[in-house]
Structure formats: structure tokens, C-alpha cells
Amino acid sequence: MSEISNEEVVPENQGNIEELQSDGEQSSLYPSKKDALQIIDSVVKGGRDPKVLINKLLNKKKEFLMRETKYLTTVIVDGMEYIYPNKNEDGFNPRMLWLFSVVQSEAKKFLERNPEWSMPSKLPVNLTNYDYDDSYGKLTGTDINSAYWNIAHKMGVITDTTYSNAQDPKYKRVRLAALAILGRNISYNKFKDGKKQTKPFIYENQEKRLKQLYQAIRYQCYQMMNEIAGLLKNEFEAYRTDCIYYRDTKQNRKIVHDYLTKHGFEFKQLVYDDEDDSNNDVENVDNTD
């Protein structure tokens, strides 16, 4: 990892900031990425090749920033942010990119409404019961549908409108990404005089509680897994993030299903093959009213 002295850092609290947002609510203590990087407008270039713009800027020896991920390529130049969703299967649908800025804005407003909010206790993402007796019976698993997204909604981090507008299964990867980037620093390659500079350009997000908020969403999920494990007792085998594994009996299924239904979560039941224990089928459980 580079020393901080070898990176060009743009703190989020630099730049002008509006006292009030357009909806009448007080703005965040720190400006958005657009404020910090002086971005006037953003344009999504769906289906376009970013290399065309990048080569043009290099030939003209323009100063610009560029960031590449497996989902997007972003170019920032002269106050404009150009976003190119990747054309492969990993790329996001350009029409879904609105969710990133909306989730960011609503998460900040949640923290402003709840100044005393604090992090819950840290819990492991995975847990195994090494005393589980696998000498008899079959293993099954129950997987929570869109666990993090639903928890964010139940916590009040995202609004009912945002939750409903992004409920289509096609939004699955975008929903996860929009939550996962909360509070993250962003590194850009900097180009000047037609050459890539050696020092990365860092947008430093100083709202550390945003990152904690995403962690809290995850810990809430793991807390649920721990509570279900406690109800199952020795019948519990393991949990992995938002899926819990246990001995397959009607009673155990009822324990898990009743808990999740009571807390307002939809789920699917995993069914395993007798020979190799690989997940070869999914039994969709309709637990909605």
C-alpha cells in the first residue's frame, strides 16, 4: 500500500457547500463527490467505448481523471463526469445508475436524523458449529432474499420509494453495490500532458459513519443468523452471510421460517443431493401475505 504522502488526496470537506438542499433539508456536514471534485454535470454513455474519449483527451494533452472497475469506466474532465457502463455481463444497466446517488443521499439524511446512532457489536460473517453431528439426517439451508437491501429499508436508511423502485430482481447487483460503496474512498488515475501520473488521485470520503452504516447493515444480518442458530441449538450446522444451514426436519424448517416471517423477510429453501451434498435445487417458499 502506498504511503499517504505519495498519493494526491482530495478531502471531502474541501469546496463550496450549499446550506440547504433543494428539498429544504439541511445538507450533509460534508459535500458530495460532485462538490469535492467540482463536477458540474454527469452523463451516462451507455453502449459507448470510453477509449474514444480517453484517446482524444490524451492527444490534446488535457488534464483529466479516469477510474476503471469491472462495472464502469469513469472520466472526469472540465467539470463533466462521463460514465461508461461496461458492455460485458458485469456492466450495470445505465438506467439503474440513479440508485447510487439516491442511496448515498438517503444514507446521509438517515445519519443527520439520528445523530446519536452508533455501531452495533461486531459479528462474524461466517460461523460453523463444529459440534454438529452429521452422522444422521440431511442438511438443508434457508437463504434470505435481498438481505442487506431489506435490512437497510427496515432500519430506515433507504425510503419506501427507493426500496420499491429498486425491487426488480434486475437491480440485485446494483442494490448491493450502492450499499457497499457507502463511505468508501475512491482512487482515480490522473492524466496530465498526455501522460498518466504516478500518484493516484484520491477522493477521501470523510463521513466515516457512512462506512459504519454499511457495516451495521451487515452486522444486523449476522445478528439474525446468530439468533436463529440459538433457536436451532445443536441442529444448527453453520451460517454463511445471509444463509443458514441446519438438519432438515419439519420442526427445524418451521423454526427458521417462522422467525424470518415474523421479522418480515422473504426467503428460499435450499435442497441438497444425497450423493454430493451440492446445492442442486431451490425450493422457493412464498411467505408473503
| DSSP code, position 15 | S
pLDDT at 262: 97
Separation CA 236–CA 232 (nearest Å): 5
Strand, coil or helix: 110: helix
pLDDT at 14: 33
Separation CA 199–CA 84 (nearest Å): 23
Burial class (CB in 10 A: 0-12, 13-18, 19+), 40: exposed
Pairing of strands 80-85, 139-144: unpaired
User: pTM of whole model > 0.75?
Assistant: no
Nine cell digits for residue 226: 446468530
Nine cell digits for residue 99: 440508485
Residues 195/181, Cβ–Cβ less than 8 Å: no
Cα angle, residue 126 at apex, residues 107 and 183 outer, rounded to 5°: 20
Q: Mark 98-119 as b/e (b = at least 16 C-beta within 10 Å).
A: ebbebbbbbbbbbbeeeeeeee
pLDDT tens series, the chain, 289 aa: 332 223 333 333 333 323 223 333 344 455 567 777 888 888 888 888 999 999 999 999 999 999 998 888 999 999 999 999 887 666 678 888 899 989 999 999 999 999 889 888 899 999 999 999 999 999 999 999 999 999 999 999 999 999 999 999 999 999 999 999 898 888 999 999 999 999 988 887 767 888 899 999 999 999 999 999 999 999 999 999 999 999 999 999 999 999 999 999 999 999 875 544 444 445 545 444 3
Quote helix, strand, coil % in the chain, to nearest 5.
35, 25, 40
